[in-house]
Amino acid sequence: MPKASSARPIWTGSISFGLVTIPIKLYTAVREHRIAFRSLHDQDQVPLKQKMVCPADGKEVHPEHIVKGYEVEKDHFVIIQKSDLEAIAPKASKAIEIQDFVDLDQIDPMYFDRPYYVAPKPEGAKPYKLLMEAMVKTKKVGIASIVMHNKQYLAALRPLDDALCLETMHFDDEVIPSNSLPDLHQKTKVDDRELKIAQQLIESLTTEFKPEKYKDEYRERVMELIERKSKGQKIVNRPERESTTPRKANDLIAALEASLAKTKTAITASRTPRRRKSA
Amino acid sequence: MSKVARRTTKKTTAKLAARPSVSTRASKVPISNPTKPLFPSGFTKGEMIDYYERMAPILLPHLRGRALTLKRYPNGSDKLFFFEKNCPSHRPDWVETVRVVGRSADSTNDHCNITTRDGLRWVANLAAIELHVPLGKADKPDVAGAVAFDLDPGPGVSLIDCARLGIRMRDMLANIGLQCFAKTSGGKGFHLYVPLNGSTTFAQTKAFANMVAVTLAKDDPQRITASMSKADRPKRIFIDWSQNDRHKTTVCVYSIRARQTPSVSSPLTWDELEEAIAGKDEASIRFDAGAMLKRVERVGDLFKPVLTLKQKLPA
C-alpha cells in the first residue's frame, strides 16, 4: 500500500457529528502513475504550445476575450460570467457533516470516486480516535457532505487500518443504471451442468486479494523504453525507415560538417577545428 | 480624433515644408493623409509612398507572382498592427490577386499580387509599412525559389556577430557548391538566401535548412542555436530554418520595417559585410528609406541573382 503523502494537506477543516467537532486535515491517498508525454515539433524538438483560435477568421483569441457559454440548444448559448457562478457557489464550509451511518457493503464500489486520508489535528486526536473506534465496533461508515474548492461532494467516511479514510462519491444521478444497456435482457437459459463447471473453475482460481500482485506492465515497458532511449541506445522498431532517407541525410550531414570544418581552417586558423565523429 | 493626434499632425505639416520628397506623381490612385507621420522619427505616410513608388523598378520583380501579406500599421509604426493576407475587398479592379490554399485545404486566401507602380502606391497608402512574401510563387505553391536562413540575434548578440556567422555560412555553403546572398532584416538580424529557381520543393529546402542549422549549432552550441526555444536564445544567434515552408512569409527585400525610423531590409555585398566586421561598424550596413533610394541608384539590385541564379541542393 502506498504511504500517505507526508506533504501538505489538501484541505483542513473539521468533522462534525452530533455535538462533537473534530479538527482534521485531508491528505491525498492515491497517486496515479501517469506517464506524461509532451508534444514536440518533429523538426527541431521544440515543445509545442496550444493556442485558442477563432475558426471564423483563424486568428488567435487571448484569454481576456474568452467567456464561458452554455449551449442551451444548437448554436444558442447562455453566457455565464465568473461572477454569476461565484454568487451561487456553495458556502466554503469547513465542516464535513456526517448525515447518516450505513453498512459499507450497502455501497456499491461504483459510487466511490477518490480516496483521501483524514488525519486529526493535535487538538482533535481524542475525539478522532473515539469516532474511529465507535465506527469499527458498529461496523458502520458515515455518509457526509463536504465542500472542497468551490465544489460540493458526497463522501463516505470509514476506518481503514488505524486511520479514517474519506472517499468522495458520485451522486446517484451520475451513475448510469445497467438496465440501459442493450442485449442484457435476452431470454436465455443456463444449463445446470455448465453452471457447475463454471462454479468449479471459479473456486479453483479463488485466492486472497493481494493488490501488490498486479502490475501495470505496459507502463513498466514504456518506462524501460524511455530509459533505454535516454541512454542513447537505438530502438530498432522501424526497419523500413532505417534503410531509405536517413542514409541520404547522414551523407549530407557529413558533407555539411566537412564543409564547415574547412571554413574554420580557412578563416579562424587559431581555433582548432572540432569534428564530430560520424553522425 | 484625440487632441494629441491633431497636434502631432500640425507639427509635421510644419516639418514637412522642409522636406522635398512627398509623392506628387500624377496617378489614378488617390492618397490619403500624406502628411501623417507614420514613424516616431517623423517619417510621413507621403514619404513612405514616395519611397515605394520610386523603388518600384527594383522592388516589383521581388513581389511579382507572390502572395503578398500586408503588415498594416494604420496608426504608425509603434502602434497596433495587423497582418492582412486577403487583398482588401475594396481594392481597385486592376489590382491582381492570387489564390493560396491555407494549412487546411478548405481555407483559401486571395492575396494581392502587386505588379505595378500604382499597385505599390495603393498598398503603401493602406499604411502597409511591411511587405511580407513567401519563398515561392503562387502558381507553384510547393516549389521554393530559394532557401532562406533568418539569423536572429538573441539578447546580448550584435548585428556584427550575426554578420560573422553569415560569412561562415557563406563559406560552408560554398564548399558544397552553393552561392548565397545576404540582406539585413531591417531589424536586428540577417537573412541569408540560397537561390534555387528550379523545381526544389519546400519539403527539400526545409530539411536541408534544418540540417545546416543543426550542424552549425552542434559545432558551436555556445553561440548558435537551431531551436526556437526562448531559453536558448540569450547570447546566441538563432538560425531560423523553419521559414522554408510554403505557408510562411519573410519580409521582402527593400521593404521598410516598422521601427523608430524607416529602416529597410537591405541587400549587402560580402565585401561590405567583411568591412563592417573588420571595423565593427554596424551603421555602415544599415540603411533607411532615404539612404536606400540613393544606394540603388549606385549599386542597382544586389538581390537580383536571388530571382535568377539557378542552383540545386546537393542530393
Distance CA(B33)–CA(B16), nearest Å, equals 13
Q: Which three cell numbers stand for residue B175?
A: 564548399
User: What is the percent of chain A where pLDDT is above 90?
Assistant: 22
Q: Which three cell numbers stand for residue B311?
A: 542552383
- Beta-carbon separation of A256 and B210 below 8 A: no
Question: Mutating which of A44, A45, A278 best tests the B interface, going by the most B Cβ atoms within 10 A?
Answer: A44
Answer yes or no: are the C-beta atoms of A267 and B171 closer than 8 Å.
yes
Exposed, middle or buried, A183 (CB in 10 Å: 0-12/13-18/19+)?
exposed
Residue in this structure with the C-alpha cell 435476452, named with its chain if needed: A186
Distance CA(B134)–CA(B299), nearest Å, equals 25
Distance CA(A264)–CA(A122), nearest Å, equals 71
Interchain contact A244–B (C-beta under 8 A)? no
Scanning every residue of chain B, which has its alpha carbon at the shortest distance from the alpha carbon of A48? B229
Distance CA(B128)–CA(B74), nearest Å, equals 8
The pLDDT value given to residue B25: 61
**Angle made by CA atoms B243, A40, B213, in degrees to the nearest 5:** 40
The SS3 of residue A253 is helix
- Give contacts of A60 with chain B, Cβ < 8 Å: none
Q: Tens place of pLDDT for every residue, chain B, 315 residues? A: 333 333 333 333 333 333 445 555 667 899 999 999 999 999 999 999 999 999 999 999 999 999 999 999 999 999 888 889 999 989 999 999 999 987 776 778 899 999 999 999 999 999 999 999 999 999 999 999 999 999 999 998 999 999 999 999 999 999 899 999 999 999 999 999 999 999 999 999 999 999 999 999 999 999 999 988 777 888 999 999 999 999 999 999 999 999 999 999 999 999 999 999 999 999 999 999 999 999 999 999 999 999 999 999 987
Distance CA(A113)–CA(A170), nearest Å, equals 6
* DSSP labels, A12-76: EEEEEETTEEEEEEEEE-----PPP---B-TTT-PBP----B-TTT--B--GGG--EEEEEETTE
The model's pTM: 0.56
- Beta-carbon separation of A256 and B176 below 8 A: yes
Distance CA(B87)–CA(B66), nearest Å, equals 12
What is the number of other CB atoms lying within 10 angstroms of the CB of residue A158?
Answer: 20
Q: In angstroms, what separates the C-alpha of A107 from chain B's closest C-alpha?
A: 51
Distance CA(A279)–CA(B202), nearest Å, equals 24
How many alpha carbons lie under 13 Å from residue B302 in its C-beta half-sphere? 23
Residue in this structure with the C-alpha cell 488525519, named with its chain if needed: A119
Q: Tens place of pLDDT for every residue, chain A, 279 residues? A: 444 445 688 888 999 887 788 999 999 898 888 888 888 888 777 788 888 998 888 888 888 888 888 888 888 888 888 888 878 877 767 888 899 999 988 999 999 999 999 999 998 899 999 899 999 999 999 999 898 877 889 999 999 988 999 999 999 999 988 887 877 777 778 888 888 888 888 888 888 888 888 888 888 888 888 877 777 665 554 443 333 445 566 787 888 888 888 876 554 433 333 444 343
Q: In angstroms, what separates the C-alpha of B149 from chain A's closest C-alpha?
A: 15
| Cα–Cα nearest to B183, from B67, B290, B83, B62 | B62
- DSSP β-bridge partners for residue A100: A143
- Give contacts of B172 with chain A, Cβ < 8 Å: 256, 259-260, 262-263
Length of chain B: 315
